[in-house]
Amino acid sequence: MNEKYNCDVIRDLLPGYIDNILSDTGSELVKNHLGECAECHKIYTEMEESIGKDDLSAHDTIAVDALKKIRKRMNHLKITIGILASILFIFLLSAALKIYVIGKPLETGYMSISDTVYNEETGQLTVNGEINLYSFHVSKVVWEEDKNDTNVVNVIVYYAETIPFAKDKTDFSVVIPNIKGKKVYLACPEYDRMEIYDWRTHHYEEVKNLKNEIYSKIPELNEKTDALDCMQGITTVEGIEGIRFCVDFICGEDASYWWFNGMLTTDGEFVPADFEIWISLKTPHKILIYDYQTGEYIDDFSIISNRRTAGDDS
């Protein structure tokens, strides 16, 4: 084997020699040649250093990748724990707020009203009361118009548990604007409601005087057989505030009518009129007829006699 061929063979064997996988004979052959050939020994040294660096770089890369994966998983774990902790905190906070701060509507049986004060100038109503529950306090009081009747207002009292060692706030007060002509209830939407104020009852004498004014100004009405019932709400006609009365004709020989517990009662029969009577609140009192058939206000009182006769014929 010539020298050139011998060096090429040795150089092919160098990787196996460096990795120590050659046979004893092969390793001895390479070792002896490296001791004699400076050029092959130089290549061997460079190859050994290169392989060592590559191995080190590969190990470093594996270690770095492993650390990155661990760090990524730890970050995901931290985020997951943070989200779960936030959800738990929000849930506990919501529960605490509902129990101790927001509360829920209280049934009317656990409340009492001390007084209701109506301001004639502003039309505001102030309602004062308290709740009768131990270890509970008033969290808030709201009022809202009834969904089915704009002339009815509901007052809703919310109650919540009292924080340990805190003082119970059992009294409440609420101011309701523009209550003229309306009715007010203490209400619990899920259970019941209780009437606490009726503008008509509070102004009983005024309503009674207006009713007498109608009977005296309209000769077509008979106080004994034509019942007037004041309706809820204030109606403005031509810029003037007034209240309305519905009319019931009492039919039957010697029939009469009376009021019992706020209900109109008769020993004859009722024939509801197809009109209403409107009267202004302020003097001089203006009286008009609201005709259901035309939807207009008129001052022709003869309609009363005509409609009564039509009702009798039917």
22 and 121 in a common domain: no
pLDDT of residue 30: 84
Q: Kindly give the residue spans of alpha helices, DSSP state H, lying in 105-222.
A: 199-202, 204-217
Instruction: State which amino acid sits at residue 86.
Output: S
The DSSP string of 233-245 is S-EEETTEEEEEE
CB 200 within 8 A of CB 207: yes
pLDDT at 29 (0 to 100): 87
pLDDT of residue 1: 43
Regarding whether 121 and 136 lie in a shared domain, the answer is yes
At residue 169, the pLDDT reads 85
The residue among 313 and 14 whose pLDDT is bigger is 14
Instruction: Identify the domain boundary among 26, 58, 76.
Output: 76
Q: Which two tokens stand for residue 146?
A: 């009834």
303 pLDDT more than 50 = yes
* Average pLDDT over every residue of 178-182: 94
Q: Is residue 84 part of a domain?
A: no
Nearest CA to 150 out of 124, 125, 183, 176 is that of 183
pLDDT at 62: 67
Residue 95 lies in a domain: no
The predicted structure's pLDDT at residue 141: 95
Short-list 259, 257, 247, CA closest to 214 = 247
* Residues 124-132, mean pLDDT to the nearest whole number: 95
Asked if residue 279 lies in contact with residue 213, where contact means CB atoms within 8 angstroms, the answer is: yes
Domain contains 91: no
Helices and strands: H and E segment counts in the chain = 6, 16
- On whether residue 89 sits in a domain, the answer given is no
- Residue at a domain's end among 162, 180, 198: 198
**Could you tell me if 191 and 208 lie in one domain?**
no
The percent of residues in the chain predicted with pLDDT above 70, rounded, is 88
Q: Which structure tokens are listed for 41?
A: 């020994």
Whether 214 and 307 map to the same domain: the answer is yes
Last residue of a domain, one of 198, 213, 232: 198
Please indicate, yes or no, if residue 92 is contained in any of the structural domains. Answer: no
pLDDT at 166: 64
- 93 occurs within a structural domain: no
Is residue 101 in some structural domain? no
Q: Are residues 229 and 270 in the same domain?
A: yes
- Together in a domain, 136 and 190: yes
Find residue 175's DSSP bridge partners.
126
Q: What is the pLDDT of residue 2?
A: 45
* Residue 175 scores a pLDDT above 60: yes
Residue 27 lies in a domain: yes
Domain that holds residue 177: 108-198
Peptide bond into 177 cis (omega under 30): no
- Residue 104, classed as helix, strand or coil, is strand
pLDDT-derived band at 168 (thresholds 50, 70, 90) equals confident
Whether residues 215 and 190 fall in one domain: no
Examine the domain organization and report whether 213 and 285 are in the same domain. Answer: yes
User: Span 242-268, mean pLDDT?
Assistant: 90
Beta-bridge partner residues of 111: 131
Asked if 215 and 179 sit in the same domain, the reply is no
- The CATH number given to whatever domain includes residue 290 is 3.10.450
Average pLDDT, stretch 187-202?
89
* Number of domains comprising the chain: 3
Q: Are residues 169 and 217 in the same domain?
A: no
Give the pLDDT of residue 64. 60
Predicted confidence (pLDDT) at residue 12 exceeds the cutoff of 70: yes
Strand blocks (E) in the chain: 104-105, 111-118, 125-131, 136-145, 152-161, 171-176, 183-187, 193-198, 226-230, 235-237, 240-251, 257-260, 263-266, 269-280, 287-291, 296-298
Examine the domain organization and report whether 182 and 169 are in the same domain: yes
Query: Are residues 67 and 122 both part of a single domain?
Result: no
**Cα torsion angle, 290, 295, 300, 305, sign:** negative
Q: Could you give the CA distance from residue 92 to residue 111 in angstroms, rounded to a whole number?
A: 30
Per-residue tokens: 191: 């259970």
